[in-house]
Structure 1
Amino acid sequence: MSILPLRRWARVLAPVAAVAVLAGCATDEQTTTPADSDSPASVSEVSATALEPALDHLHGLHLDADGVVLAGTHTGLVEIASNGRTTRVGGSDDDFMGLTGVPGTDRLFASGHPGPSSSAPNPLGLIDSLDGGRTWTPKSLTGEVDFHALATDGMLLVGFDGTTGLLTSTDGGTSWTPGAPMAAAALAVTDGGVWATTTAGLQHSTDSGLTFTVVPGAPSLALLSAAQDGSLWGIDTAGTAWRSRTGQSWEPRAVVGRVEAVLAVDFDIAYAATAEMLYPLN
């Protein structure tokens, strides 16, 4: 596959139903109860809360230190209340193409393009926030990189800019080294390693993103998120939500359809979202 289709695939990851190029999307999905689940698999439709006002596109979700869901959008960072009310966070109107944070904290990282009110170079490179997105500081790669996929556990940062391979950082994004020469639509970092959704399927790295292997039997995930307890939630190309304690075996949980982001809170709770709707998952 050429660079251009891979870049386009990474950009149009949402909605999930549009990601038809993922390997296996036309093949049988995993439907059996995995070994690491506590109960028989249960797949059901879920209710949704309407977002008001709706978001200006959606690039990623984060759970802050107060348990509030934050959304990276085309025009800045937005807080999503439990009743669906959305409120802008801080004064930035930057386009956050990539958004990640240390789960359950106010430490955020983002990437993308400067908004109309910004004089920052384009692309933003990596920007950093210590206060839940109220203020941002340029960190590295300014004017060089627009990360489309970005993930961290507080120690390791892994990103994919949509054109080349992965980049990794072990010092909070100050310096970067090349990782695996692969394209990733979504990334997650847990104590068990780095996880990536790719055209070859879900892949796993135990050497901080330098090399990866395909996870046997994993669903064809397009969206992926790691929780504070190390569990993972993902959304497959058909719009089904899955969860896993270890990343090696997966349990289907609910049908959400076309969504643009997923947020793992813990093994029992997650959220999926579009620019108009928030779906609680359990």
Structure 2
Amino acid sequence: MPAHRFTRILLPTGIAALLVLAGCSSEADETTTPDAAVPAVDFSSELSHLHGLHVGDDGTVLAGTHTGLFAIDASGSTSRVGASDDDFMGLTGVPNTDTVFASGHPGASSSAANPLGLRSSTDGGTSWVDRSLAGKVDFHTLTTDGRVLVGFDGTDGLLVSTDGGTTWAPGARLVAAGLAITNSGVWAVTPAGLEHSNTGARAFSPVPGAPRLVMIAGAGDALWGIDEDGYAWRSREGQDWQKRSRVGTVEALTAANYDTAYAATSQSLYTLN
């Protein structure tokens, strides 16, 4: 079966506005018949403006929101991680680790610069340190593999760091609704469709046959995406796209590996496999 009811947040190993994309015909593999919809686990309380998801070292799913970072357990209960109530407009991390990066704006109890620039955490968001660009940048979307970070702040192009977010350089001049890093490079969801870079996000080229995605996530050699109609897709490095189950309109997506990803609204979490 391409999808199952969400029964746990911890993996067995311990684990946005929608862009109307310009027409690129899809040659993706649709031999897998998707279910009508993926059942979800509903949250015990609604999360405010869900901006991003991350899978931590022990498999816990973390959600970056308008009022801080929250952990989601198997029953749908949500609990604040750390003391920060900052608006994590951008949230990313190294999949299946406790290394997390965030951007956004200070919360009501914070005296931090506005915007936050880039912050980092090595304990799953319990504590944060200012990394760079404080008072200068609010990344709307971020992606990382731990060394390289690529971000888009809603202006006229990408920013790229190759030293874990300490220093930055201009990347390609494009608008990115979503970003992901896999073993083969950087991926961007743009108004023209899915694009790929093997030059460290300095230049991108279209991905032939890709579905019309509105968000994307990567882990290792795995890509997961959600298309305009709310269907999940997965691929190894942009090849042999498989259409999975329908989740509808979601606000965030993260990938644990090729076998598992998570998508969420402010009220529910879906598991994709």
TM > 0.5:
yes
Q: Is the 8 A contact 1:215 1:248 kept in 2?
A: no
- Structure with a larger share of its residues in helix: 1
Residue 277 of structure 1 pairs with residue 268 of structure 2: yes
Question: Which of 124, 143, 152 in structure 2 is aligned with 1:151?
Answer: 143
Instruction: Report what 1:5 is aligned to.
Output: none
Query: What amino acid is aligned across from residue 121 of structure 2 in structure 1?
Result: S
Paired-residue identity, %: 58
Change (3 A) 1:20 1:208: closer
Query: What amino acid is aligned across from residue 208 of structure 1 in structure 2?
Result: G
Q: Is the 8 A contact 2:89 2:139 kept in 1?
A: yes
Q: Is the 8 A contact 2:161 2:168 kept in 1?
A: yes
Which structure 1 residue ranges, 4+ long, deviate > 4 Å from structure 2? 27-31
Q: TM-score, normalization: structure 2?
A: 0.91
Aligned-pair distance for 1:30? 5.3
Q: For residues 149 and 30 of structure 1, what CA distance do their matches in structure 2 show?
A: 27
Instruction: Report what 2:73 is aligned to.
Output: 81
Equivalent residue runs for 1:239-254 within 5 Å:
239-254=230-245
Q: For residues 189 and 268 of structure 1, what CA distance do their matches in structure 2 show?
A: 17
Equivalent residue runs for 1:155-166 within 5 Å:
155-166=147-158
Question: Which of 124, 127, 132 in structure 2 is aligned with 1:132?
Answer: 124
Instruction: Report what 1:41 is aligned to.
Output: 32
Instruction: Report what 2:229 is aligned to.
Output: 238
Structure 2 residue ranges without an equivalent (≥5):
1-15
Query: What amino acid is aligned across from residue 136 of structure 1 in structure 2?
Result: W
Q: Is the 8 A contact 1:195 1:204 kept in 2?
A: yes
Instruction: Report what 2:6 is aligned to.
Output: none
Aligned-pair distance for 1:28? 6.4
Q: For residues 25 and 137 of structure 2, what CA distance do their matches in structure 1 show?
A: 36
SS for the counterpart of 2:240 is coil
Equivalent residue runs for 1:16-95 within 5 Å:
19-24=18-23, 32-33=29-30, 40-44=31-35, 45-95=37-87
Aligned-pair distance for 1:281? 1.1
SS for the counterpart of 1:249 is strand
Q: Deviations over 1:156-179 (max 9, x none)?
A: 100000112000001110000000
Change (3 A) 1:171 1:28: closer
Aligned-pair distance for 1:270? 1.2
Cα-Cα RMSD: 1.3
Q: For residues 63 and 246 of structure 1, what CA distance do their matches in structure 2 show?
A: 20
Q: For residues 212 and 53 of structure 1, what CA distance do their matches in structure 2 show?
A: 40
Q: Is the 8 A contact 1:150 1:187 kept in 2?
A: yes
Change (3 A) 1:172 1:234: same
Q: TM-score, normalization: structure 1?
A: 0.88
Aligned-pair distance for 1:31? 5.7
Q: For residues 147 and 33 of structure 2, what CA distance do their matches in structure 1 show?
A: 35
Q: Deviations over 1:29-87 (max 9, x none)?
A: 65634xxxxxx413112111101111111101000011000000000000011111110
Query: What amino acid is aligned across from residue 131 of structure 1 in structure 2?
Result: D
